[in-house]
């Protein structure tokens, strides 16, 4: 794989020889622009226009009506490329919502990746430690074996886990990396990864102190190795890793609702909410953080949490920014929490970007429920599946209630749960008042990995309205509750 990075609208002669190329991919640091801007597209060298898809994580019929900046990955037909200079152009149609007759979007930079078949000489290597099946507690040393015909220029290590969305796509369980151009920079480079090392031995330390506890076996690692010819080699995964903390647990909370145009100016005020469920006891919490993605927050943007904590003077001027703040536990509510944004300026104002503010809370041992992880896939409504195809062992080691996928969702979502032994299971959906509205499972079930799909309907077959819902599992000796968001 070769990668060329540029913040401008033209690639230079650094686009390499395409002999042996099998695929091309462009990663775009894309500002979604004015809300409602539709049919965003680009073209290379005056060829056909390529449509840019909107964010799939936004459960709405018109996702372009939300504010975002993401790292869109777009496949580029190889017949649209040639070694040498390639001009990149962009265009769009008008706004379809929140219209002030100014459809606009932009890019701050692009990364062009070209993938080659195995006939091209390339570096090689593998992750030597940790090994598959290991448990990461607080931190871990990572060692990579890397070789090249010439010299190894750089080794990067990336991780897959369920955590903060740093690339703006609204997906939390994913390979974590981001490509955002910072103010005054002339290129864009990768960020948000485990780490980078440029000289042998290729060892680094991964501090996971604020990464949420993970479902056992759900974490993966991968290394990328760059040689002096500009080729990258991607190693095999190290899978089946677990991650936890020695002094308790870290949980992440995301927004229950995010307004479409979460953008304030001229003394406007907007609000959104997130929920800390009853199973996570703030009385056992020891520290907390807020992480918020914004665009142009430097334009006098202000954020308020529950009317007790405020901040301003952060962010960047007409650029993306991801800022992290420490909170007092007393600033948070057990249950619903309100996030309010405002800006006194008559200028552009502050955009709070999808998926909105994210919150991390550290708990003492036993102070919060065990973590879950969203899985891809689905089943027919009401059908409980045994997802051995995902590579789990035949029987889990302990009870667990997984995260639903997708979340937010419309109208269906898949809920996974693990049974280490045959058990009677009650799995119900509850509304925010705690009222049970739908029974998904009630009866004896065999040990194993299971999943069931909820279609957004109550026990009478009626569709329930948009909002926050909880799903709760009860078995012999195990009870857990998790939150989900239905958006229509």
pLDDT of residue 345: 80
pLDDT of residue 352: 97
Rounded to an integer, what distance in angstroms lies between the CA atom of residue 389 and that of residue 338?
40
pLDDT band per the 50, 70, 90 thresholds, residue 224? very high
List the strands of the sheet with 302-305, edge to edge. Answer: 255-257, 268-276, 335-343, 302-305, 309-312
Residue from 125, 184, 127, 116 nearest 158 by CA: 127
Tell me if the domain spanning 124-164+187-246 has CATH number 3.10.580.10.
no
Average pLDDT over all residues of the chain: 87
pLDDT band per the 50, 70, 90 thresholds, residue 131? very high
Please check the confidence at residue 376 and state whether its pLDDT lies above 50.
no
Is 12 exposed, middle or buried (CB count within 10 Å of its CB: 0-12, 13-18, 19+)? exposed
Which tens digit of pLDDT belongs to each residue from 390-425? 333 457 778 889 888 888 888 888 898 888 888 889
pLDDT band per the 50, 70, 90 thresholds, residue 389? very low
69 near 320, Cβ under 8 Å?
yes
pLDDT of residue 384: 38
Is 172 exposed, middle or buried (CB count within 10 Å of its CB: 0-12, 13-18, 19+)? buried
Quote the pTM value: 0.76
Please check the confidence at residue 370 and state whether its pLDDT lies above 90.
no
pLDDT of residue 15: 54
Domain pair 124-164+187-246 / 250-363, same fold: no
Residue from 334, 415, 327, 396 nearest 367 by CA: 334
Per domain, the residue ranges of the chain are 2-116, 124-164+187-246, 250-363, 388-486
pLDDT of residue 95: 95
**Range with lowest mean pLDDT among 217-221, 283-287, 376-380:** 376-380
- Specify the pairing of strand 335-343 against strand 268-276: antiparallel
Higher pLDDT: 286 or 115? It is: 286
Please check the confidence at residue 258 and state whether its pLDDT lies above 90.
yes
pLDDT of residue 451: 84
Angle at 96 between CA 95 and CA 97, to 5 degrees: 95
Region 250-363: CATH code: 2.60.120.1200
Which tens digit of pLDDT belongs to each residue from 67-110? 999 999 999 998 888 766 778 899 999 999 999 999 999 999 99
pLDDT of residue 381: 32
200 near 48, Cβ under 8 Å?
no
pLDDT band per the 50, 70, 90 thresholds, residue 50? very high
Tokens 């219209």 correspond to 99
Tell me if the domain spanning 388-486 has CATH number 2.40.33.20.
no
pLDDT of residue 14: 52
Q: Within its chain, how far is the Cα of 113 from the centroid?
A: 21
**DSSP line for 62-100:** -GGGS--EEEEEEEE-GGG--SS-EEEEEE---BSSS-S
- Specify the pairing of strand 320-327 against strand 173-176: unpaired
Tell me if the domain spanning 2-116 has CATH number 2.60.120.
yes
Please check the confidence at residue 377 and state whether its pLDDT lies above 70.
no
pLDDT of residue 394: 52
């Amino acid at each position: 794989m070769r990668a060329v990075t540029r913040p401008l609208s033209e690639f230079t002669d650094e686009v390499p020889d395409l002999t042996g190329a099998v695929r091309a991919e462009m990663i775009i640091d894309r500002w979604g622009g004015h809300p409602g801007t539709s049919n965003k597209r680009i073209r290379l060298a005056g060829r056909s226009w390529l449509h840019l898809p909107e964010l799939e994580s936004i459960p709405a019929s018109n996702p372009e009506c939300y504010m975002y900046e993401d790292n869109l990955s777009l496949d580029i037909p190889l017949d649209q490329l040639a070694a040498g200079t390639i001009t990149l152009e962009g265009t769009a149609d008008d706004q379809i919502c929140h219209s002030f007759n100014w459809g606009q979007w932009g890019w701050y930079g692009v990364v062009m990746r070209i993938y080659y078949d195995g006939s091209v000489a390339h570096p090689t290597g593998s992750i030597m430690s940790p090994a598959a099946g290991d448990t990461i507690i607080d931190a871990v040393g990572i060692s990579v074996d890397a070789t090249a015909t010439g010299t190894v220029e750089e080794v990067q290590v990336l991780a897959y886990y369920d955590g903060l969305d740093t690339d703006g796509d609204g997906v939390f369980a994913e390979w974590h990396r981001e490509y955002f151009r910072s103010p005054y920079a002339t290129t864009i480079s990768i960020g948000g990864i485990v780490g980078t090392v440029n000289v042998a031995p290729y060892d680094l330390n991964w501090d996971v102190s604020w990464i949420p506890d993970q479902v056992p076996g759900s974490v993966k690692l991968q290394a990328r190795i760059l040689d002096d010819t500009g080729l990258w080699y991607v190693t095999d995964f190290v899978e089946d890793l677990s991650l936890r903390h020695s002094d308790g647990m870290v949980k992440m909370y995301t927004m229950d609702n995010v307004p479409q145009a979460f953008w304030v100016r001229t003394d406007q005020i907007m609000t959104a909410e997130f929920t800390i469920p009853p199973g996570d006891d703030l009385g056992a919490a020891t520290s907390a953080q807020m992480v918020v993605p914004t665009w142009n927050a430097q334009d006098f943007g202000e954020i308020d949490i529950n009317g007790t904590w405020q901040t301003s003077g952060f962010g960047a001027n007409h650029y993306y920014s991801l800022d992290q703040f420490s909170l007092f536990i007393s600033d948070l509510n057990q249950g619903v929490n309100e996030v309010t944004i405002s800006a006194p300026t008559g200028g552009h104002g502050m955009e709070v970007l999808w998926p909105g503010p994210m919150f991390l809370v550290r708990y003492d041992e036993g102070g919060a429920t065990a973590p879950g992880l969203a899985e891809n896939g689905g089943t027919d409504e009401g059908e409980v599946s045994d997802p051995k195809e995902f590579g789990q062992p035949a029987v889990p080691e302990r009870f667990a209630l997984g995260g639903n996928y997708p979340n937010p969702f419309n109208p269906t979502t898949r809920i996974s749960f693990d049974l280490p032994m045959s058990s009677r299971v009650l799995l119900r959906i509850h509304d925010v008042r705690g009222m049970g509205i739908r029974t998904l499972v009630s009866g004896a079930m065999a040990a194993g990995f299971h999943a069931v799909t909820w279609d957004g309907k109550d026990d009478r077959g009626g569709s329930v309205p948009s909002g926050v819902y909880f799903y709760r599992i009860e078995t012999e000796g195990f009870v857990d509750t998790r939150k989900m968001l239905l958006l229509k």
